A and B are shown apart, each in its own frame.
Chain A
């Protein structure tokens, strides 16, 4: 009907590009997701300490990163951080080169963007923790740490999981924007392939399907994790 031509897919060179693209996308997603979760945990922990200036700083961080386009954040990191002084002198050529590669810039800005979303998700998870459970644990003689590890953390983890799934899928999808700053991930190689073959629509449909498949795997895995961790009353375990 549309006259789609996928004969270019038989070329091993394009297959290799697609494979490298997928691997780099996975790397970028894994790296920025772990960093985002770490930032989210630290940020949420910072909120629970109730130190007003720390609270204010974290909130500003969250709002700035959540309300600006991640694409702009990446462009900013890529084009201006080296101007602002993040440069090193290459010992072999003696030239001043940017300290951070495109990949590093993308990973850092995605981590910060995802981290801002994660802080908010974890904080609301902690806030919805039923007060009565904390009180019950206290009356049973749990200390501060035992209460956190044995009561609060397990419940908060389960409350936060659906929100975390959203953030991880969002972050995975946002990695495609790193192609704009020439990170050699899937979307970047898609551009390379259609510049070569002029099969724009075919390449875009294939890449879209690959992304949907990868994100679906992530969503399903998170759903399985949720079901596995569920206990009565929280999350899916009703």
Chain B
């Protein structure tokens, strides 16, 4: 055994692996000693919880819908957040002040309340230039979840742009660039690198918040869970809830971990 030393982090990982294994063993033992009936019920329903249809195809809802919802919201939040972020950086007070107020309003409002407000505020269809644009619950959920994320992203943008040394602005201005050109060719090139970890850090909370979309009535994993639980007995409910809780972890944890690693990598560099 000489020369074989377990370092602190290795020991830590080993303990975590053991606990994870312990959970797996516990599930196996539970399944073998009477819990199997419950676990089969969960297993039978799993395709429904994941994709919204009992056979697993086509995708009409479930956890996959939560993922789609989070991606759509993130895309919208990125676009909105960029506009708001640059708006809060404007030198014209007439643009800056309303943007700052909007960002602070959205940042300080609870996701659930904002989602409800969006749900009731938006009509179910809207007439724009003669064409009728429908607002199904999914679109409302996307907008409701994108608003607070956009506000948070605008803060990320503001922080990243402000972290670029002011000498860069002065140099670009003295070279005759206008504001748009400075953002496009000088500032954003440098700020982008710092933005990415902040942007990724917003994704895991957004994914977690998609669970709230159940209030809009879309067939997301929680809506389906509630429908299913109406047919199950009290004991099985425990198994169903545990299954759903642990659906989120393998999806959110790796993304959050990568974001934190990127954050550490960016932290040290000076511009």
Contact = CB atoms under 8 A, between A and B. Distances in A.
B164 to A, nearest CB: 18
A57 to B, nearest CB: 7
B249 A204 contact: no
B241 A207 contact: no
A88 interface: no
A89 interface: no
Main secondary structure of the interface of A (DSSP, over half): helix
Contacts of B244: 72
Contact of B110 (A56, A60, A174): A174
B238 A83 contact: yes
Nearest to A81: B238
A208 B15 contact: no
Interface stretch (B26-34, B115-123, B129-137): B115-123
B108 A216 contact: yes
Contacts of B76: none
A176 B241 contact: no
Contact of A204 (B120, B209, B211): B120
B237 interface: yes
Q: Name the interface size band of chain A.
A: 35 or more
Contact of A71 (B11, B120, B212, B235): B212
Interface string B188-222: 00000000000000001000111110000000001
B19 interface: yes
Name the prevailing secondary structure of the B interface residues: helix
Contact of A216 (B8, B12, B104, B110): B104
A187 B222 contact: no
Given A68-B248, A80-B238, A204 B109 contact: no
A211 B115 CA distance: 13
A177 B116 CA distance: 12
A55 interface: yes
- List the 4 closest pairs (A to B, CB-CB), nearest first: A69-B211, A56-B15, A173-B110, A215-B108
15 contacts: A52-B12, A53-B15, A66-B256, A67-B249, A68-B252, A69-B209, A80-B238, A173-B111, A175-B110, A177-B110, A177-B212, A187-B110, A200-B120, A211-B110, A212-B109
Interface of A: 50, 52-53, 55-57, 59-60, 63-64, 66-73, 75-76, 79-80, 83-84, 169, 172-177, 179, 187, 200-201, 204-205, 207-208, 211-212, 215-216, 219
Given A53-B12, A207-B113, 7 more contacts: A53-B11, A69-B208, A84-B238, A187-B112, A187-B113, A204-B120, A204-B121
